[in-house]
Structure 1
Amino acid sequence: MKKLIIVGLSTVTLAGGSAQAQDGHIYAGLDGYASLLGTEKSSGSTLSLQNKFTLGGGFAGIVGYDFGQFRLEGEIGKHYHNAKSYAVNNAAGLGITSGNATAGKSNMTHYMVNAVFDIDGPFANKNIEPFVGAGLGLSNIGWNNMTASGNAAAYTQGSDNVFAYQAFAGFRVPVNENIDISLKYRYFGTNDANRTDRLGQAFKTSYDAHDFVLGFRYKFGVRNDDRMAKVPQPLPAVAEKAPEPDPTPVADIAPAAPAPAPVIDRGPYSVYFDWDSSFVDTNAREVIRKAIIESTKADQIIIKLDGYADRSGPSGYNDNLSFERANAVMETLIANGVDKDKILIDGHGERSPEVQTEDGVREPRNRRVIIQLN
């Protein structure tokens, strides 16, 4: 299992190498879980017994970076289990017998680095995003007061630091643009821990847990970007041309023909956005600035804004996101002197993409607002 997890971790990391940097954001979260600790063996030169534990639990804190389809995260967590019973094959002179446990706890703290790969596919339209992942790290496994029925003293206690590994699979559901809820199954294992019994004899114990995890994630930057979009900073002022002096009249010369109407570049102008964002960045602001300059060349200009989204999320969510993007561009125009009555906006969600893709695919060129001067 350990070799499979190490190979899987390498594969996930390589697969995420091509993720688009513009999709990135930091996130943090909390996990809570029910945990089944397997039948753990204690074995030495003569000692041989099996330790069984009750259903336990635990929690973890996570901080990571989402590159788009690939995530890299750090995790610190705890596992707690109470001893249930012992099956003794060889007591090694300790005087312990098989039976129910009267005392005993297993406490484990883990420090992990995880690689997670989000799976795009048919579930995306159902507001569900499946994922798989693996992690490597360090665990401190402590056994406290491990005592069998009919025995006055614990046969062992103490802790050891060991190499740890995990593999997991699950799905996450977006509550809104900032918050995700997830469910996953995790297998968690370690190298054998070194221990000493109460007679000073060395032995080893195994550790492998099966966890059922409920998770909460908060994505930083997405909501702040939206707020920035709604309160855009003014673009560089467009210099006004100084009025030309009246021409000196020349006698007996016919009036000059009217100047030709100014040539207006009516677009379309394409403003692009990061994934799951309506933040108007520097490149977008430059495109908007050019559209504003052209719109000042005539009095009766109507500015049409059409928002779009890619197919990486639920269609209803993308409909709203496309309107948010169009609204963000409108607010930027208004902040730079454009009359709101001259602006029309619409949102088209996933419809009319610039690039045709399968459902669930994140495509930067489809996350856009088209500006048209009419």
Structure 2
Amino acid sequence: MVPAFRHCALAALAIAAAGITPAAAQDEPSTGVYGVARAGLSIDSNARLQGNNPTAGTTLQRDTDYKRGFNGELGIGYDAGPFRLEGTVGYTTAGVDKKQAAKGGFTADGRTKALTIGAAGYFDIAASEHVVPYVGGGIGMSRVDSRMSRLSGSPATGSRYSGKDWGFNWHLDAGVGIAATQSTTIELGARYSRTSSLRFDGFNGATKAQFRPRMSGWSAMLGIRQAF
């Protein structure tokens, strides 16, 4: 009986080494490579004109508010236990809040879209086996496509710009991960992001001008992480 038991034990160890995890090990936290997908709403974002006297000679507001927009990203990461490192590609888009920007008798329009490539790091705080809060942030580069105008009169005159430029992006995140299965985690999170060093050519009336908006905002995001 003892040799037979020994053979069975050795067989079980061989199966585990081959990747079929015994039930006793399934309660251990999952580490290693994972994929991530997130999507959500930009709930409070704006564009602030930068530089000395940024509103001089222009009809554009110093701070232009945007309506709620879309925010999403895909990426791949590595979970090392309490710390995770990710590489992501994200996309955001939002339209100008025309009602707010039109105050003062103006006609306003605009939209901003951005494709962001970046890296981020997160610390997981093991509050319980299934609920794990996290904090972190990241940096990257954003390819921003933006247009904005604020005009009045007939024929319409005022200030406007449009164009594409690369800007520096950073963001801070906080949220909670909820273990759905051993390898799948659902995320609920919030993010503050900012993109700067942007320059767009435009006009103040008939005069050429350059505008340097800084894009920033808050987002609420829902995500899923799948370990491989």
Q: TM-score if structure 2 supplies the norm length?
A: 0.73
Letter in 2 for 1:32: A
- 1:128 aligns with 131
Structure holding more strand per residue: 2
Deviations 1:183-229 (A, max 9, x none): 11111012241122133211211111101010011100xxxxxxxxx
- 2:20 aligns with none
Identify which of 189, 192, 202 aligns with 2:210.
202
Seen in structure 2, the aligned counterparts of structure 1 residues 189 and 99 have a Cα distance that, compared at 3 Å, is farther
SS in structure 2 of the partner of residue 124 of structure 1:
coil
Identify which of 123, 148, 170 aligns with 1:117.
123
SS in structure 1 of the partner of residue 149 of structure 2:
strand
- 2:18 aligns with none
CA contact (8 A) 1:53 1:81 kept: yes
- 1:346 aligns with none
CA contact (8 A) 2:87 2:119 kept: yes
Deviations 1:84-117 (A, max 9, x none): 13878xxxxxxx9845655311111111100111
Establish whether residue 164 from structure 1 lines up as the match of residue 169 from structure 2.
Answer: yes
CA contact (8 A) 1:52 1:86 kept: no
Task: Select the structure of larger CA radius of gyration.
Answer: 1
CA distance in 2, matches of 1:75, 1:81: 20
Establish whether residue 71 from structure 1 lines up as the match of residue 68 from structure 2.
Answer: no
CA contact (8 A) 1:85 1:148 kept: no
SS in structure 2 of the partner of residue 136 of structure 1:
strand
Seen in structure 2, the aligned counterparts of structure 1 residues 99 and 218 have a Cα distance that, compared at 3 Å, is farther
Seen in structure 2, the aligned counterparts of structure 1 residues 155 and 86 have a Cα distance that, compared at 3 Å, is farther
CA distance in 2, matches of 1:38, 1:190: 11
Alpha-carbon shift at residue 176 of structure 1 (Å): 0.6
Give unpaired runs (5+ residues) of structure 2. 1-28
Number of aligned residues: 189
CA contact (8 A) 1:84 1:100 kept: no
CA distance in 2, matches of 1:63, 1:136: 15
Seen in structure 2, the aligned counterparts of structure 1 residues 53 and 79 have a Cα distance that, compared at 3 Å, is same
State the superposition RMSD in angstroms: 2.7
Tell which has more relative contact order, 1 or 2 (C-alpha 8 A, sep 6+).
Answer: 2
- 1:213 aligns with 221
Deviations 1:294-326 (A, max 9, x none): xxxxxxxxxxxxxxxxxxxxxxxxxxxxxxxxx
Seen in structure 2, the aligned counterparts of structure 1 residues 30 and 154 have a Cα distance that, compared at 3 Å, is farther
Establish whether residue 181 from structure 1 lines up as the match of residue 186 from structure 2.
Answer: yes
Structure holding more helix per residue: 1
Establish whether residue 28 from structure 1 lines up as the match of residue 35 from structure 2.
Answer: yes
Letter in 2 for 1:165: W
Give unpaired runs (5+ residues) of structure 1. 1-21, 89-95, 221-374
Alpha-carbon shift at residue 38 of structure 1 (Å): 3.0
Establish whether residue 106 from structure 1 lines up as the match of residue 79 from structure 2.
Answer: no
SS in structure 1 of the partner of residue 182 of structure 2:
coil
Output aligned runs, 1:281-320, within 5 Å: none
Alpha-carbon shift at residue 168 of structure 1 (Å): 0.5
Output aligned runs, 1:231-246, within 5 Å: none
Seen in structure 2, the aligned counterparts of structure 1 residues 180 and 195 have a Cα distance that, compared at 3 Å, is same
